[in-house]
Amino acid sequence: MSGRVEQFAALVAQHPENGLFRFSLAQALIAGGRADAAVPHLEFCIRQKADWMLPRILLGQQLLASGQPATAKPLLEEALRLAIEQDHQDPADELRALLQSL
């Protein structure tokens, strides 16, 4: 495991209900080429915080990469809705383009 994965895995072990630690672990896992291991942490973040856009984007991208566009689409649509509500223009534009390609 990379240092960042080990660091955040230890924090998640100590504080399993901390969504920020789980999100950071998911990002480190994705960066380390272990996106499949990031999925449960992203799912946790989505369940924990209804208006958290980024875990939805990352999970949607992972699902697309693993050949699950039908499962990814609702997550990406929800992420787009949140991006618009929260006035995040760049993610909204990227999500629109991604959704059009599905």
Predicted confidence pLDDT, tens digits, the chain (102 residues): 578 999 999 999 999 999 999 999 999 999 999 999 999 999 999 999 999 999 999 999 999 999 999 999 999 999 999 999 999 999 999 999 999 999
pLDDT at residue 1, as a whole number: 59
Cα separation, 67 vs 11, in Å, equals 31
Question: In the chain, where are the structural domains located?
Answer: 1-49, 52-102
**Both tokens assigned to 85:** 């509500």
User: Does residue 90 contact residue 83 with C-beta atoms inside 8 Å?
Assistant: no
Render 6-70 in DSSP notation, one character per residue: HHHHHHHHH-TT-HHHHHHHHHHHHHTT-HHHHHHHHHHHHHH-TT-HHHHHHHHHHHHHTT-HH
pLDDT at residue 2, as a whole number: 76
Give the burial class of 34: count Cβ atoms within 10 A of its Cβ; 0-12 exposed, 13-18 middle, 19 or more buried. middle
